[in-house]
Chains A and B, each alone.
Chain A
Amino acid sequence: MAFAFMIPGPLRELAGNRSEVHVEGSASSVGEALPLLWATCPAVRDRVLTERGEVRPHIHIFVDGESIRDAGGLATPLRDGAQIFILPAVSGG
């Protein structure tokens, strides 16, 4: 299986200055696919997940255009070839 992770600007330096990272491996859910990204971009992990393994509150992950918040969280199923976007939420002050 192959997946494409879309890396937001603030994290690209930690991903070898890439905006898109392609990984291959077996994963049936977002939670199973993320370790494939960490394997090639380990510094991205702690910026996206807390030490409890939860997606940080102001991070959005979209799979093929749909937020995983509405589709099962990290258990959201993946298709082969899925595009996974990691994006900062519209929050601040």
Chain B
Amino acid sequence: MPESHHVAPRAGDVLVLVGTTKGAFVFRADATRGTWERGGPYFAGSAVNALGYDGRAGRTRLWAGPQSMHWGGLLRSSDDFGRTWTNPEEGNVKFPAGTDAALKQIWQISPGRADEPDTLYCGVEPAALFVSKDAGATWSLEEGLWNHPQRPKWEPGGGGLCLHTILPDPEERARIRVAVSTAGMYVTEDGGTSWRPSNQGVRAQFLPEPYPEFGQCVHKVVQSKARPERMFLQNHWGLYRSDDRGETWTDVANGVPSDFGFPISIHPRDPDSAWIIPLESDEFRCTPEGKLRVYRTRDAGASWQAMTNGLPQADAFETVLRDAMAGDSLDPAGIYFGTRSGKLFGSADEGESWTAIADGLPPIVAVKTAVV
């Protein structure tokens, strides 16, 4: 196994957590975000689609969901920025007896709200939500969603039938929105007891009925912490904005080369600003015209501008997956993304200019950030 390097962050440093098909990496920089050092690889050989950081209640805890092709997957955590990781004796995210299901892959690890510091959520394949109320020590299946009568009609997308997005509402404690490929979005307003589909206005181009109640292939959804009514959605064809917490959606694919893509990221303070990386089509899931362009809106999707300074603009047929872009919380906001070809790019000025943080990594499937 390769030797792992480790980072030793100080207060105020930025971490970019990178999950790949062959392990995880931790990149660290100070707040200027000019020079990066690499930690890892961790879990060498395992795919790491889920990464997270829990800085609540005085913790500095990394979470990862490594998935071995041979030995299965589970959640592991580190309180020393990757130097050591837990390795639970038993799988900690398991379907209970009676469900007749088995975990295929962990797709998302998401801390809950700041005012419930021991709550975490985990999204998995087959599509299900797990919750922990004890800071990740134990996990249980959210049965309300699992037993939803529409679940047997959900269909797997290219990545499998996965629950990949979890959005605990920043203000309404009992409200959580999740997204499943391919089922669309479901929302609970009672903390998980009952769930309903919530996809009004979102197109399903691949179905006979283009606006079904559920069945959309939602690729990623983000919600503004500053104004939680504001959300953006990158669909399997379709780019949307909501101004009512996701109850209705409006097409905002204005001036983009394609409304097909995977990731979307929203500004940490400005609810009108977001970033996407369009791909040509569902048949050719690469950046259009061989140009690696991030598109940014400053006006809630009324217009989008290509941000290309520092990104290759020729022979760059790249793919950026749904969880492979994330922003930090600094001012100006940083934005980072990784490609399936193993390139990691970052911008410390909200996309105005980009630098290559790393190249030659295994295919990147997840990018998450933290400010320590």
Residues of A within 8 A of B (CB): 10-11, 14, 42-43, 45-48, 50-52, 54, 56, 58-59, 88-89, 91-93
CB A68 to nearest CB in B, in angstroms, measures 16
Give the complex CA separation of A14 and B74 in angstroms: 15
Q: Which residues of chain A come closer than 8 Å to B97, judged between CB atoms?
A: 51
CB B14 to nearest CB in A, in angstroms, measures 32
Closest to A60 in B: B70
A58 contacts B70, CB within 8 Å? Answer: yes
B74 contacts A46, CB within 8 Å? Answer: yes
CB A72 to nearest CB in B, in angstroms, measures 21
Which of B74, B91, B96 has the most chain A CB atoms closer than 10 A to its own CB? Answer: B91
CB A16 to nearest CB in B, in angstroms, measures 13
A43 contacts B90, CB within 8 Å? Answer: yes
Q: Is B89 an interface residue (CB 8 A)?
A: yes
CB B20 to nearest CB in A, in angstroms, measures 13
Q: Is B71 an interface residue (CB 8 A)?
A: yes
A91 contacts B69, CB within 8 Å? Answer: yes
Give the complex CA separation of A50 and B74 in angstroms: 12
Give the complex CA separation of A46 and B102 in angstroms: 11
Q: Which residues of chain B come closer than 8 Å to A92, judged between CB atoms?
A: 69
Closest to B102 in A: A50
Q: Which residues of chain A come closer than 8 Å to B90, judged between CB atoms?
A: 42-43, 45-46
B70 contacts A42, CB within 8 Å? Answer: no
Q: Given A42-B89, A43-B89, A51-B94, A88–B70 Cβ distance below 8 Å?
A: yes
CB B50 to nearest CB in A, in angstroms, measures 18
Give the complex CA separation of A54 and B89 in angstroms: 18
Q: Which residues of chain A come closer than 8 Å to B358, judged between CB atoms?
A: none
